[in-house]
A and B are shown apart, each in its own frame.
Chain A
Amino acid sequence: MDALSSLADGFAVALTFQNVLLALLGCFLGTIFGALPGLGPSNGVAILIPLAFTLGLPATPALILLTSVYYGAMYGGRISSILLNIPGDEPALMTTLDGYPMAQQGKAGEALALSGIASFVGSFFATWGLVFLAPQLVKVALLFGPAEYFALFTLAFATLGGIASRNQAKAAFSAALGVGIAMIGVDAQTGVPRFAFGEVHLYDGIDFLVAIVGLFAVSEVFIFLEHRGEEAHAEDASKLVNRVTAPLSMLRKTAGTMGRSTVLGFLAGVLPGAGASLGSFIAYSVEKRVSDRKGTFGKGDPRGVAAPEAGNNAAAGGALVPMLALGVPGSGTTAVLLAMLLALNITPGPLLFQSNPDVVWGLIAALFIGNIILLIMNIPLVSLFVRVLLVPPKYLMPAVAMIAFVGVYGISGSTFDLVVMVLFGLGGWLLRKLDVPLVPVILGVLLGGQMEVNLRRELTISNGDWSALVDSWLSITLWGLAIVGFILPIIVGSFFRTNVGKGRSRESDDPD
């Protein structure tokens, strides 16, 4: 087994003192980001990227820190779902349906323990899936030429809204906006400036880290300012938690649920653009259909807690597969992680597995370690995080904003970048109000340049013949998938929307 020996090498990389410490820190911060309503995985990762970057962390430790945050947020979201009936982040939305009723019946401790274990099962097996599936995908990706990559990027944009997408025109609009921003700066192939308007700062283009932190973190501060005084109070949360254990009988009863939900969540994560919210949604709805014989779902059924939690954690692992193997992120947060890699001058995709195996396998090993850390943090130590929920946003959000500024200022020390970041914050706030999804903007800023490079490379090879874009079975398949992926939500989207439309599930909220 090739993958297993690589994984063993990965453990050698991950088990250094510094890396374990970073995994611990990442898991801790991630759980907090997940638990706090309003801050989700992509926000958490976006704020920490510039910091990791300016601290001069090398690729592997930086990735370990940030993916630990990502995994941690998937664990943490459930805490406020169960205790407060407010999802801590979007993927935890489905957990409120049965988690909060359980808490009201005095079973908050059981619900927290069970969902912690379900989260562990989901992400543990999804990480195994990553170990075995990613190298297979790499083999396919090695056959890719520029035409195939161009089609793959189109596929990523076309499916980004996911199957529950509301308005494909808005997804296309925001993707075009992002790619358009990526065009700013000196053209790498001919050396002519584009859309720079003579402004020297624009010759380098817009730094995607600045765009990401602005769109996610700064716009979140504006959202909080707008909704001041409307947030729910969390004063009694700490009293609700009794002992955090789940009886064995409950675990036995939910074992099948966890298994099914893990598989479904993982598959949902691997699909480009779907992400953890879709994973938890599909896991919950399928589980309801399969095992809700007595109509107990929605009234505090333990299976209704286990299913979405196993589902969203499995999807988080699944979303890393296309990000690492193809360089095309499977969800919002993995798009942000991709930014990290690009900032470190590492191009994900098949070559990453060949040229930097220590990064890939060290990261995967760190995910296994992180999972065990998270299980410990989220069951015996969960009351620690419950206390964090009590920090009111009026103290928390200023700190978040200031840390965002420190991170971006640290990269370049330029006022111009800070101004651009606030502009992106305002733009992000406006787009969120208009229900335009933000993830395509980010993905466009990240991948727009690559997309154009591949297009031009292919046409240079073919001497200007555009039909070269569709002259292999691989690229035709990718184009076909892209078209289906773009049209499908228009047909089946209404079905999903009526089911998922409960609570705050605006498309543009903090994505996963």
Chain B
Amino acid sequence: MSDRILGVIGVALAAFYIWQATLIQESFMSDPVGPKTFPIIIGVILGLSSIYFIIKPDPEPQWASVGRTMEVLFAAAVLFGYAYALPIGGFVLTTAITAMFLSWRLGAGPVQAAIAGATISVGIYVLFGVVLGLSLARGPWGF
């Protein structure tokens, strides 16, 4: 069933892709192939392989339980949040919080996770920021 769903999504994606490809503006200077043809070929391959999934799906994969799936999605949300917070809050603080969260969700106790988060954040800051001179995000405090 999962493969069939993938196939349906794939066909929709391929159709959308080909439709978008036909909308690409032609420019006055063009070559015999033009900017549309190759994307359309790719879209067709995408669509054909997706149709194959619908006709002949693989055995059902082992999906995670609902709880674990939520766990993954929530972690992704935290990482998105981290991406936005990084330039605002500075590297050390936001990284410590994110690493603490991940460590906690991977099974560390709250205190362990807090220590791990702080250690990872400061460790990376010292190693990459101070020793190797990489430009890390500067927050209001400059670190």
Judged by a CB distance under 8 angstroms, whether A405 is at the interface is yes
Contact: B105 with A190, CB < 8 Å? no
Judged by a CB distance under 8 angstroms, whether B111 is at the interface is no
CB-CB under 8 A from A401, the residues of chain B are 79, 98-99, 102
Contact: A415 with B76, CB < 8 Å? no
User: Taking CB as reference atom, which chain A residue is nearest B85?
Assistant: A415
A191 to B135, CA, bound (A): 32
- Min Cβ gap B2→A in Å is 6
Interface residues of B in 70-84 (CB under 8 A from A): 71-73, 75-76, 79-80, 82-84
Q: Could you say which of A170, A399, A406, A418 has the most chain B C-beta atoms within 10 Å of its C-beta?
A: A406
Chain A, 450-479, contact with B by CB distance < 8 Å: what is the 0/1 string?
011001100110011000000000000000
Judged by a CB distance under 8 angstroms, whether B63 is at the interface is yes
Chain B, 28-69, contact with A by CB distance < 8 Å: what is the 0/1 string?
011111110011001101101110110010100111100011
Chain A, 203-232, contact with B by CB distance < 8 Å: what is the 0/1 string?
000000000000000100110111011000
CB-CB under 8 A from B132, the residues of chain A are 55
CB-CB under 8 A for A177 and B46, given A192-B35, A398-B106: yes
Contact: B58 with A409, CB < 8 Å? no
Judged by a CB distance under 8 angstroms, whether A425 is at the interface is yes
A226 to B106, CA, bound (A): 9
Judged by a CB distance under 8 angstroms, whether A502 is at the interface is no
Judged by a CB distance under 8 angstroms, whether A434 is at the interface is yes
CB-CB under 8 A from B110, the residues of chain A are none
- Min Cβ gap A40→B in Å is 19
Chain B residues with a Cβ closer than 8 Å to the other chain, count: 73
CB-CB under 8 A from A33, the residues of chain B are none
Secondary structure type dominating chain B contacts: helix
Interface size class of A (residues with CB under 8 A): 35 or more
Mark the stretch among A67-75, A83-91, A276-284, A389-397 that contacts chain B. Answer: A389-397
- Min Cβ gap A508→B in Å is 10
Contact: A194 with B83, CB < 8 Å? no
Chain A, 417-444, contact with B by CB distance < 8 Å: what is the 0/1 string?
0110110011001000111100000000
Contact: B27 with A192, CB < 8 Å? yes
A402 to B120, CA, bound (A): 8
A76 to B17, CA, bound (A): 42
CB-CB under 8 A for A434 and B61, given A54-B134, A169-B49: yes
Contact: A194 with B124, CB < 8 Å? no
CB-CB under 8 A from A225, the residues of chain B are 68, 71-72, 75, 102, 105-106
- Min Cβ gap A496→B in Å is 17
A residues touching B (Cβ–Cβ < 8 Å)? Answer: 51, 54-55, 166-167, 169-170, 172-173, 175-177, 179-180, 183, 187, 189-192, 194-195, 218, 221-222, 224-226, 228-229, 392-395, 397-399, 401-403, 405-406, 409-410, 413, 415, 418-419, 421-422, 425-426, 429, 433-436, 448, 451-452, 455-456, 459-460, 463-464
Known: A176-B42, A225-B72. 9 other contacts (CB 8 A): A179-B42, A190-B27, A190-B31, A225-B71, A393-B106, A394-B106, A398-B116, A409-B137, A421-B83
